Amino acid sequence: MITPCLRGGHEVTKPVYVEGAEVGDAIAVKIESIRVTSIATASGHDQPVEGRFNGDPFVAPKCPNCGTVNPDTRIEGIGQEAIRCAECGEDITPFRFTNAYTMTFNDGKQVGITLNQQGAEKIAHDGKHYMLTPANSVQNPIVTFAPHDIVGAIARLRPFLGQLGTTPARPMPDSHNAGDFGSFLVGAPMITR
């Protein structure tokens, strides 16, 4: 959600080719295991920032200064103003946290604990390392925001996998294909690939 060059809130892989599949065919996907690789993550409640998107903040972020839609970005420092337009340097994030946390996990990835400001900022300065983003990833790590509104909360880690696609097949932003935030799609001036 803080990587405006992506047309959706999440970085996803390309579609999988299924040999012999035809329009109307279905596929069953069985997930045998999920391995958590991140050392830390961040989450919370957010709200869109007016003037930084066309209709849908997940799909069509735009720079409020130069107007570039789905611009490339660079990270300058940490905090909620750290994600900058690569063209003009303007703060570009289409969302702000209203209440959020940074959480780190134990070695076995079974439990996590939310961090104080000092811990959240340490992680924010090296977000790609702590989130273990893949080498070719373009995503801006959410831990860059260094949220720390909730400190010392302990929770079990229960990984899940979402956003596998839609039925019937439709070109749809990854942020909406699980049925979440579908109201943004009603009458939205969508920009598609």
| Per-residue pLDDT, 15 | 64
Residue 24 falls within a domain, yes or no? no
Residue 151 falls within a domain, yes or no? yes
Task: List pLDDT tens digits, range 118-158.
Answer: 999 999 999 999 999 988 889 999 999 999 999 999 999 98
Residue 18 falls within a domain, yes or no? no
Note the Cα 35 to chain centre separation in Å: 18
Q: Which residue has the higher pLDDT, 120 or 17?
A: 120
The count of C-alpha atoms lying within 13 angstroms of the C-alpha of 100, restricted to the half-sphere facing its C-beta, is 21
What DSSP letter does each residue of 22-45 carry, written as one string?
Answer: -TT--------------SEEEEEE
How many domains would you assign to the chain? 1
Range of the domain at 141: 40-184
Residue 16 falls within a domain, yes or no? no
Note the Cα 45 to chain centre separation in Å: 13
What element of type H or E holds 131?
Answer: helix 127-131
- Residue 69 scores a pLDDT above 90: yes
Residue 34 falls within a domain, yes or no? no
Which of 40, 51, 53 minimizes the C-alpha distance to 2? 53
| Per-residue pLDDT, 57 | 87
Q: What is the mean pLDDT of the chain?
A: 86
The whole-number average pLDDT for the span 48-70 is: 92
Residue 30 falls within a domain, yes or no? no
Residue 26 falls within a domain, yes or no? no
Residue 86 falls within a domain, yes or no? yes
pTM for this entry: 0.81
